[in-house]
């Protein structure tokens, strides 16, 4: 193991003090002079024609400064980047397609006036029949939601690898099951908000907790018919995102209002709006068929998924068509048929959420793995180890596993949960289950022009280093990781480095935080930038010390001559010399990292990520067979992270993701009645509390990886195995298998009663 002074330890977060003292400012805390407050009028019907919209009564209300409707927008349809579908408008014009669809908006001097103004807008609707489930919506007799989408199909894709029919013929056991997962709401604690402001030259600035400030501008540019150069996004501190803070319609509405009244406009979602209009995890119905031989070799896998797009296409198509085949590489499957239907429904549009389709499909596959194991009389752990991917594999979809710690992860979690012991001694109420996962670290398919990251490291005359990145801190500790990478690379103390949240006018174009790419890709860019800055510093020091730059190094803030370390200078002194002797120019390091990934072809074959992350989790549960109550006794999680840049934040990511996975498995459920979300609040949408979270043991499996100091991503994969591990543990405990999420006590009790 190489000797690092910062990387791989437990250094504190660089933003920790601000957050612990209440100094950290989020969008809700910002206020500008002359700022107005915006509120959005939303459709109360899931499917309705908009016959008439009358805002005349609003204009007279004191305090209202602007009213906006579809007439104030370019009315150009736009869509999420690369989804291939453009089905959205800023304000619904002819039809409202879900309860929550934006119809109009007002800006006023205070929130109460804005709310009152909304109530004065008269809209005449003609209610239309609506449909709420993808399997219903795809029927020929279902109401048509978008004119150009027959059978409400937003996308259909079929992927074929190898010969699945042959694979099924060769199997000794073939199983077919139906699984269903539901809406999962991100439930980040900070509601989405923004402040939009135009300058006198027609340039728009959006202040917002944006996960992808640079490229979200593509969408805003199209929707507003505004050149990219006139669009600036300044990322504010983010209070949790998990994939839910990508492009927001709200920002466009604020922009339209702000343009109309020529004043900054702030809009912040109320929590019920958050639930009703956020872009939750894509619900999927998965028909899964898998085959296995007596000796444990998996021979074929076929899935047919009906995914719920909601009323408009956001990232659901990518979630479905990219996210659901990561699981195929876990067990070296070669014969695969994946058929994906993305179907519109009259509900809120679904989109990206940590795991990006992986949790949904992995729940199905990993549940079935246990069923197959039981069917051939093999231990579920053994079946997994028998088929597990290894370093050097090229999977059926063209993913190159340059590093892979999957088997280690499986073994470690099994050991931590006392797998062998527990399997021998059966306790009637307790059970253990295991599950594995594989994930990308970045995804080439998203942005064809490049997949990578650029960073700058700016050293000023005081010797302080400022890292400029286009990637985004959502709470995961990214800025801290970048500061550590930079400090480690340059040989200076962590305290000398700050990392700026992106302002798109200044920061490099960054693809943002998603796809588990922040550390592996963004961090690599930072390392290169730091190396470049260091090179320039050493060149300056070489002059000052009369040595050759190649004979110099920097450690703990001192530049010294290797071999005669007493010949040294403080970093700060070299930096100030560099600035002053070069006409005031700061030392500017620049680094660009392009991972060894490739664009996939039209069949989605290709090595879309520079490296892949693996993990496994095991859960022990106690089920009360009289009440169906499930208590998660403990969870062991082992993730192949390459190298953990910061042990604490890496563990924190795994622990947080696991508890989200637990909520997904057991308690988080959205209920609808006639298209209206029942109880859109935290009282009824239950995320785990401190009393629910189980004790978690985390193992960081380190492999040799091409990432910065060997690191790869962990944030996303850590959420995926939890639900299936719990489902498998429940089966182990009481012998019932629930194939729909969440697994509620009621479902367990009913299943037990049916079992007799």
Partner 1 sequence: MKVTIHLTVNGLAYQEEVEPRRTLLEFIREDLELTGTKEGCGLGECGTCTVLLDGKPIKSCITLAVQANGREVTTIEGIERPDGTLHPLQQAFIDHGAIQCGFCTPGMVLSAKALLDENPKPSELEIKQAIAGNLCRCTGYQKIVEAIRSAAEGS
Partner 2 sequence: MKPFQYFEPSTLTEALEILHHYRERARVLAGGTDLVVQMKQAKMIPGAVISLRQLQELNFIEVDSGIRLGPLVTMSQIATHAKFDGRLSILKEAALAVADVQIRNLATVGGNIANASPSADVPPALVALGARLRLRNKNSERVVALEDFCTGPFCTHLERDELLVEIFISPIPEGGGAYAWMPKRTAIDETLVGVGAWVAGEAPENTCRRVCLALSSVAPVPLRAYKAESFLHGKPLNSENFRLAGEIAAEESSPRSRADYRRALVSILTETALERAVRRGGAC
* Residue count, binding to partner 2 (CB under 8 A): 19
Q: Is 222 in the site for partner 1 (CB under 8 A)?
A: no
Q: Is 667 in the site for partner 2 (CB under 8 A)?
A: yes
Q: Is 678 in the site for partner 1 (CB under 8 A)?
A: no
Contacts with partner 1 in 168-197 (CB under 8 A)? 186-191
What pairing do the DSSP bridges indicate for beta strands 36-42 and 552-555? unpaired
User: Where are the extended beta strands (E) located within 374-486?
Assistant: 430-440, 453-459, 465-469
Q: How far is the CB of 741 from partner 1 (least distance, A)?
A: 18
Q: Is 63 in the site for partner 1 (CB under 8 A)?
A: no
Q: How far is the CB of 369 from partner 1 (least distance, A)?
A: 25
Q: Which is nearer to partner 2, 495 or 746 (CB)?
A: 746
DSSP state, residue 70 = G
Q: Is 240 in the site for partner 1 (CB under 8 A)?
A: yes
Euclidean distance between CA atoms 308 and 150, whole angstroms: 15
Contacts with partner 1 in 624-643 (CB under 8 A)? none
Q: Is 22 in the site for partner 1 (CB under 8 A)?
A: yes
Contact pick of 17, 49, 76, 122 for partner 1 (by CB under 8 A):
17
- Report the run of H or E that residue 213 belongs to, with start and end: helix 213-224
Contacts with partner 2 in 427-446 (CB under 8 A)? none
Contact pick of 674, 689, 695, 704 for partner 2 (by CB under 8 A):
689
Q: Which two tokens stand for residue 20?
A: 């612990």
Residue 579: how many CA atoms within 13 Å on its side-chain side? Answer: 16
Q: Tell me the per-residue interface mask from 368 to 387 with partner 1, x by CB under 8 A, - otherwise.
A: --------------------
Q: Which is nearer to partner 2, 667 or 740 (CB)?
A: 667
Contact pick of 132, 287, 605, 682 for partner 1 (by CB under 8 A):
682
Q: Is 416 in the site for partner 1 (CB under 8 A)?
A: no
Torsion angles phi and psi, residue 158, rounded to 5: -125, 125
Name 509's Cβ contacts closer than 8 Å, sequence gap at least 6. Answer: 214, 215, 454, 470
Q: Is 177 in the site for partner 2 (CB under 8 A)?
A: no
Q: Is 716 in the site for partner 1 (CB under 8 A)?
A: no
Among partner 2, partner 1, none, partner that 629 touches (CB below 5 to 8 angstroms by kind): partner 2
DSSP state, residue 400 = B
Strand-by-strand arrangement of the 95-96 sheet: 95-96, 48-54, 122-127
Q: How far is CA 93 from CA 49, 88, 90, 312, 645, in A?
A: 9, 10, 9, 14, 49
Among partner 2, partner 1, none, partner that 23 touches (CB below 5 to 8 angstroms by kind): partner 1
Longest dimension (CA), the chain: 87
Euclidean distance between CA atoms 598 and 612, whole angstroms: 14
Q: Tell me the per-residue interface mask from 688 to 707 with partner 1, x by CB under 8 A, - otherwise.
A: xxxx-x-xx-----------
Angle between helices 380-387 and 406-416 (to 10 degrees): 160
Q: Which two tokens stand for residue 732?
A: 């182990």
Q: How far is the CB of 240 from partner 1 (least distance, A)?
A: 4
- Residue 744's region, left for phi above 0, alpha for psi from -120 to 50, else beta, is beta
Q: Is 76 in the site for partner 1 (CB under 8 A)?
A: no
User: Where are the extended beta strands (E) located within 109-165?
Assistant: 122-127, 153-161
Q: Which is nearer to partner 1, 479 or 538 (CB)?
A: 479
Tell me the β-bridge partners of 432: 620
Euclidean distance between CA atoms 610 and 497, whole angstroms: 27
Q: Which of 520, 516, 450, 512 is nearest to 485 (CA)?
A: 520
Only segment of 80-88, 287-295, 572-580, 742-750 that touches partner 2 (CB under 8 A): 742-750
Euclidean distance between CA atoms 41 and 121, whole angstroms: 8
Q: Which is nearer to partner 1, 29 or 124 (CB)?
A: 29
Only segment of 320-328, 544-552, 717-725, 746-754 that touches partner 2 (CB under 8 A): 746-754
Contact pick of 9, 648, 667, 744 for partner 1 (by CB under 8 A):
648
Among partner 2, partner 1, none, partner that 746 touches (CB below 5 to 8 angstroms by kind): partner 2
Euclidean distance between CA atoms 5 and 23, whole angstroms: 30
Q: Which is nearer to partner 2, 244 or 628 (CB)?
A: 628
* 3-class secondary-structure state, position 535: helix
Q: How far is CA 659 from CA 413, 696, 719, 722, in A?
A: 17, 9, 8, 8
Q: How far is the CB of 690 from partner 2 (least distance, A)?
A: 8
- Residue 180's region, left for phi above 0, alpha for psi from -120 to 50, else beta, is beta
Q: Which is nearer to partner 2, 233 or 630 (CB)?
A: 630
Q: What is the DSSP string of 648-681?
A: HHHHHHHHHHHHHHHHHHHT----EETTEES--S
Contact pick of 424, 626, 754, 755 for partner 2 (by CB under 8 A):
626
Q: Which is nearer to partner 1, 242 or 593 (CB)?
A: 242
- Report the run of H or E that residue 287 belongs to, with start and end: strand 284-292
Among partner 1, partner 2, none, partner that 186 touches (CB below 5 to 8 angstroms by kind): partner 1
Q: Which is nearer to partner 1, 544 or 633 (CB)?
A: 633
Contact pick of 377, 691, 755, 756 for partner 2 (by CB under 8 A):
691
Q: Which is nearer to partner 2, 585 or 627 (CB)?
A: 627
Q: How far is the CB of 720 from partner 2 (least distance, A)?
A: 22
Q: Which is nearer to partner 2, 300 or 749 (CB)?
A: 749
Per the CB < 8 A criterion, the answer to whether 180 and 367 are in contact is: no
User: Where are the extended beta strands (E) located within 539-629?
Assistant: 552-555, 558-561, 564-570, 587-593, 612-623
Per the CB < 8 A criterion, the answer to whether 615 and 413 are in contact is: no
End-to-end CA distance of the chain: 56
Q: Is 745 in the site for partner 2 (CB under 8 A)?
A: yes
Q: Tell me the per-residue interface mask from 455 to 484 with partner 1, x by CB under 8 A, - otherwise.
A: -------------------xxxx-------
Q: Which two tokens stand for residue 632?
A: 């998660």
Q: How far is the CB of 277 from partner 2 (least distance, A)?
A: 18
Q: Which is nearer to partner 2, 169 or 684 (CB)?
A: 684
Q: How far is the CB of 161 from partner 2 (least distance, A)?
A: 40
Q: Is 418 in the site for partner 2 (CB under 8 A)?
A: no
* 3-class secondary-structure state, position 16: helix
Q: Which is nearer to partner 1, 449 or 691 (CB)?
A: 691
The binding site for partner 1 (CB under 8 A) comprises 10, 12-13, 15-26, 28-29, 186-191, 237-242, 270-271, 474-477, 648-649, 651-652, 655-660, 681-683, 687-691, 693, 695-696
The binding site for partner 2 (CB under 8 A) comprises 626-629, 666-667, 669, 683, 686-689, 691-692, 744-746, 749-750
């Amino acid at each position: 193991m190489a000797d690092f002074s910062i990387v791989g330890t437990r250094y504190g977060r660089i933003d920790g003090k601000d957050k612990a003292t209440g100094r950290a400012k989020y969008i809700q805390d910002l206020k500008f002079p002359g700022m107005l407050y915006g509120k959005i009028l939303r459709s109360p019907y899931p499917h309705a024609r908009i016959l008439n919209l009358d805002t005349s009564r609003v204009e007279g209300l004191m305090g209202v400064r602007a009213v906006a409707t579809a007439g104030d927008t370019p009315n150009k349809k736009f869509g999420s980047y690369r989804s291939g579908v453009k089905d959205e408008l800023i304000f619904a014009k002819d039809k409202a397609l879900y309860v929550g669809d934006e119809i109009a908006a007002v800006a006023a001097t205070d929130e109460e006036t804005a709310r009152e103004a909304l109530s004065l807008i008269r809209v005449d609707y003609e209610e239309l029949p609506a449909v709420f489930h993808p399997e219903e919506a795809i029927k020929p007799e279902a109401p048509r939601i978008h004119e150009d989408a027959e059978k409400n199909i937003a996308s259909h894709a079929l992927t074929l690898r190898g010969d699945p029919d042959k694979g099924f013929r060769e199997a000794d056991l073939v199983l077919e099951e139906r699984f269903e997962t539901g809406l999962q709401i991100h439930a980040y604690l900070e509601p989405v908000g923004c402040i939009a402001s135009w300058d006198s030259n027609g340039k728009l600035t959006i202040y917002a907790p944006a996960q992808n400030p640079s490229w979200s501008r593509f969408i805003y540019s199209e929707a507003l018919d505004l050149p990219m150069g006139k669009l600036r996004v300044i990322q504010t501190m983010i209070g949790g995102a998990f994939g839910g803070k990508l492009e927001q319609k709200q920002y466009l509405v604020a922009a339209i209002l702000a343009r109309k009244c020529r004043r900054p406009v702030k809009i912040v979602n109320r929590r019920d709006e958050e639930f009703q209009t956020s872009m939750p995890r894509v619900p999927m119905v998965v028909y899964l068929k898998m085959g296995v031989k007596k000796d444990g070799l998996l021979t074929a896998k076929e899935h047919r998924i009906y995914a719920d797009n909601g009323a408009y296409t956001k990232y659901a198509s990518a979630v479905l068509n990219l996210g659901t085949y990561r699981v195929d590489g876990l067990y070296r499957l070669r014969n695969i048929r994946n058929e994906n239907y993305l179907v519109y429904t009259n509900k809120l549009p679904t989109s990206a959420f940590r795991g990006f389709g992986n949790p949904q499909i992995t729940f199905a596959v990993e549940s079935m793995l246990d069923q197959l194991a039981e069917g051939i009389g093999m231990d579920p752990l053994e079946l997994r180890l028998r088929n597990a991917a290894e370093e050097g594999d090229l999977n059926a979809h063209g993913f190159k596993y340059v590093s892979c710690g999957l088997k280690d992860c499986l073994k470690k979690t099994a050991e931590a949960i006392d797998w062998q012991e527990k399997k021998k001694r059966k306790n009637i109420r307790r059970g253990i289950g295991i599950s594995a996962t594989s994930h990308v670290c970045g995804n080439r398919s998203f942005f064809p022009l490049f997949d990578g990251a650029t960073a700058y490291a700016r050293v000023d005359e005081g010797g302080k280093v400022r890292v400029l990145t286009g990637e985004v801190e959502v709470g995961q500790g990214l800025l801290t990781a970048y500061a550590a990478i930079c400090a480690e690379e340059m040989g200076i103390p962590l305290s000398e480095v700050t990392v700026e949240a992106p302002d798109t006018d200044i920061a490099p174009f960054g693809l943002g935080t998603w796809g588990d790419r922040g550390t592996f890709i963004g961090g690599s860019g930072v390392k290169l930038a730091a190396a470049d800055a260091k090179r320039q510093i050493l060149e300056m020091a070489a002059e000052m010390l009369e040595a050759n730059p190649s004979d110099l190094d920097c450690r703990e803030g001192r530049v010294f001559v290797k071999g005669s370390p007493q010949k040294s200078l403080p970093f700060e002194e070299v930096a100030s010399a560099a600035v002053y002797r070069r006409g005031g120019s700061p030392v500017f390091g620049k680094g660009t990292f392009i991972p060894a990934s490739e664009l996939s072809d039209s069949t989605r074959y290709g090595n879309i990520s520079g490296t892949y992350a693996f993990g496994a989790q095991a859960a022990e549960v106690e089920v009360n067979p009289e009440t169906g109550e499930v208590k998660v006794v403990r969870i062991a999680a082992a993730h192949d992270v390459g190298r953990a840049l910061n042990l604490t934040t890496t563990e924190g990511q795994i622990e947080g993701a696991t508890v989200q996975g637990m909520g997904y498995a057991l308690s988080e459920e959205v209920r609808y009645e006639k298209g209206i979300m029942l109880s859109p609040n935290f009282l009824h949408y239950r995320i785990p509390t401190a009393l629910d979270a189980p004790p978690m043991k985390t193992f960081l499996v380190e492999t040799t990886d091409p990432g910065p100091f060997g690191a790869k991503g962990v944030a996303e994969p850590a959420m995926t195995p939890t639900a299936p591990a719990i489902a498998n543990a429940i089966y182990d405990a009481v012998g019932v298998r629930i194939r729909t999420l969440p697994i509620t006590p009621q479902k367990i009790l009913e299943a037990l009663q049916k079992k007799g």
